[in-house]
Amino acid sequence: MLLGGRLRYEDADPPVVPSEEEPLSSPFAPEHAPVGDVGAALMMIDSRIKSVRDGSTGTDPEQQALIDQFMASLSPQEAGDVLEGACTLVYVFTTWLQKAHEEHDKDVIEYVVPNLVATMNMMPRSVRPEAIPTMAGLVVSAALGLSPNLWRKQYGEWTEKEMNPLEVTAFLLAEHINRITGDPDFATTMVAKALSTADGG
């Protein structure tokens, strides 16, 4: 790639058509995306998982109030970091599910996404119908090796109405992983350990 100076057309090499073994690098590839505040995003997902485990149909009101208070205390930059962290979780969880399904010659998009959409469709209070296609797109983009956050941003800035559906998406993916492994804490523990390792813990 030319980083500076000028290149005349007649000086350029003939175009090279990439082969299947040499795919073009996408500007939406995960290495171009910020990781965000995964720890804060994980806290919110873990809270929702524990509420469901305790038999609640939604997040515990007291716990939800604490989360809302925490989110309200964040600056726009910090809130953006949490959003990016949630997108990172979507990518990590989808990648795990993809590998698990590939071991059984199954396609994660074929098996996980329809289930995700059907579940969200039964949660109109948490996920508005108009948000479901975008949330499904986040998972599909992750399954295709793209950053969910960068994929979404090509259509404009995130909206406040997408925040709760994003959290629900990460939660449902985590719960799917937990069901597969038979461990109700597997998904969050996996990420927590990765964070600890990254921090040198």
pLDDT per position as a tens digit, 8-24: 434 445 444 445 555 56
- Rounded Cα–Cα distance for residues 78 and 97 (Å): 29
Between CA 103 and CA 113 the distance in angstroms is: 18
Q: Which amino acid is at 64?
A: Q
Report the C-alpha gap between 51 and 63 in whole angstroms: 9
What is the pTM assigned to this prediction? 0.82
Closest by CA position to 176, among listed 147, 143, 144: 143
The residue extents of the domains of the chain are: 30-198
Q: What angle do CA 31, 117, 120 make, to 5 degrees?
A: 105
Cα 136 from Cα 121, distance rounded (Å): 11
> pLDDT value at position 140?
98
Q: Match 């993809």 to its residue by tokens.
A: 98
- As a whole number of angstroms, the distance between CA 61 and CA 82 comes to 21
Q: Are 96 and 177 in contact (CB under 8 A)?
A: yes
- CB neighbour list of residue 151: distance below 8 Å, 6 or more residues apart: 28, 137, 138, 141
For a pLDDT cut of 90, what percent of the chain falls above it? Answer: 60
Place of tokens 């073994």: 21
Q: DSSP secondary structure string, 31-100?
A: GGS----HHHHHHHHHHHHHHHHTT-SS--HHHHHHHHHHHHTS-HHHHHHHHHHHHHHHHHHHHHHHHH
SS3 content of the chain, % helix, strand, coil (to 5): 65, 0, 35
Q: How confident is the model at residue 50 (pLDDT cuts 50, 70, 90)?
A: confident
Of the ranges 19-23, 81-85, 150-154, 164-168, which one carries the lowest mean pLDDT score? 19-23
- pLDDT beyond 60 at 57: no
Q: Are residues 59 and 123 in contact, defined by beta-carbon separation less than 8 angstroms?
A: no
Assign 61 a pLDDT band (cuts: 50, 70, 90): low
